[in-house]
A and B are shown apart, each in its own frame.
Chain A
Amino acid sequence: MSEHGAGAGAAHATTGTYLRIAAILVMITLIEVGVFYVPTFQSVLVPLLLVLSAVKFTLVVMFYMHLKFDNRFFAFLFGGPLLLALVVVVSLLLIFYGAVRLRTGM
């Protein structure tokens, strides 16, 4: 079976890139935890956390899973069902709660 990995095809991330991304991931995690604890951010907590975690998600998928450099079809194979999963979650929340609201506490 042919090997489509390092070097074959488009640009390829280097070890340096991987380390930089790891650093970014750690930093974002620290920011997320910070946002969680700092009261000022409570009102925008949910959207902010969702955005931050989406960035982490994207970085890991694009670079560590190499999706940015690989055949575009893989992005479809992953992205399609991912989108569907999101729609499932949002639909159920809408149906059960009439609004997408992540409740606090209990």
Chain B
Amino acid sequence: MGVDSRKMAFWAFIGSECLLFGSLIATYLVYKGRSLVGPYPHEILNIPFTSFSTFDLLMSSLAMVLALAAVQRGDMKQGKLWLLVTALLGLVFLGGQFWEFSHFVHEGLGLTTNLFGSTFYVLTGTHGAHVTVGVIWLLTLWIQALRGKLGPKQALTVEITGLYWHFVDVVWIVIFTVVYLIQ
């Protein structure tokens, strides 16, 4: 077809991941309102805090496209900078998730407390695991760049990294809406 094989494979993978997250979201929605005991979403979800997380992830996507654009035009100084910024914003998101989870546990919402806890932690946990993989991936690229081994010739690799990262962001957009805003 005259397209890059790795890029095609990655879009197929992203398609597949839609079903993965779709099933988890479906499970969350099916069990919404069926918890036998609290805490319940409206008692515990913190919209201002989560809005900040959402904003953080959106900015990380911006950083990612800036990183890719830099690498594509051969500006590795900017490339390195934006790759690192993306990874750091990802770490901030993860930090936020950790804080949120420990706060919830402290408030009495554990994994096994009720259906809300189970579906919430598994869904957002799976997402968080994906973010973690993304951060490691980004940092690997950043280190490669530091060693002078990343340049415009590897732009496709950076592009695919970007596809992964943006997808993870896009999944969060859905989660933010469906879990947090539509209670």
Chain A 3-41, CB-CB to B under 8 Å as 1, else 0, gives 111110000010100110110011001001100110000
Contact B29 A89, beta carbon cutoff 8 Å: yes
B174 interfacial by beta-carbon distance below 8 Å = yes
Q: Which A residues are CB-close (under 8 A) to B183?
A: 104-105
A36 and B5 contacting across the interface, CB-CB below 8 Å: no
Q: How far is the CA of A32 from the CA of B110 in the complex (A)?
A: 28
Known A4-B3, A26-B55, A46-B182; judge A80-B33 contact (CB<8 A).
no
Report whether B8 and A64 are in contact in the complex, using a CB–CB cutoff of 8 Å: no
Contact between A61 and B170, CB atoms less than 8 A apart:
yes
Selecting from B19-27, B94-102, B127-135, the interface stretch reads: B19-27
Q: Which residues of B contact A46 (CB under 8 A)?
A: 182
**What's the dominant secondary structure at chain B's contact region?**
helix
With A32-B181, A53-B173 known to touch, is A85 a contact of B22 (CB < 8 Å)?
yes
Chain B residues whose CB sits within 8 angstroms of the CB of A61 once the complex forms: 166, 170
Tell me if B88 is interfacial: C-beta within 8 Å of chain A: no
Q: Does B72 contact A (CB under 8 A)?
A: yes
What mask results when residues 85 to 101 of chain A are scored 1 for a CB within 8 Å of chain B, else 0? Answer: 11011001100100000
**Pick from B48, B59, B177: contact of A22, CB under 8 Å:** B59
* Contact residues in B for A18 (Cβ distance below 8 Å): 62, 65-66, 69
B156 and chain A: residue at smallest CB distance: A3
Secondary structure type dominating chain A contacts:
helix
Q: A18-B66, A89-B26, A105-B33 are in contact. Are A78 and B15 (CB under 8 A)?
A: yes
A75 to B61 CA separation, bound complex (whole angstroms): 20
> Could you tell me the distance in whole angstroms from the C-beta of A20 to the nearest C-beta in chain B?
10
Chain A contact patch, size range? 35 or more
Which residues of B from 133 to 181 have beta carbons under 8 Å from A?
153, 155-156, 159, 162-163, 166-167, 169-170, 173-174, 176-178, 181
A37 → chain B closest CB, angstroms: 8
* B15 and A5 contacting across the interface, CB-CB below 8 Å: no
B126 interface contact, C-beta 8 A? no
Residue contact B33 to A4, C-beta cutoff 8 Å: no
Residue contact B65 to A64, C-beta cutoff 8 Å: yes
Q: Closest chain B residue to A53 by CB distance? A: B177
Query: Shortest 6 CB-CB distances between A and B: which pairs?
Result: A85-B22, A81-B15, A6-B72, A53-B177, A103-B33, A22-B62
A residues in contact (CB < 8 Å) with B: 1-7, 13, 15, 18-19, 21-22, 25-26, 29, 32-33, 36-37, 45-46, 49-50, 52-53, 56-57, 60-61, 63-66, 71, 73-74, 77-78, 80-82, 84-86, 88-89, 92-93, 96, 102-106
Query: What are 8 A-B interface contacts by the 8 Å CB criterion?
Result: A6-B72, A33-B51, A53-B176, A64-B64, A74-B3, A74-B11, A89-B26, A102-B29
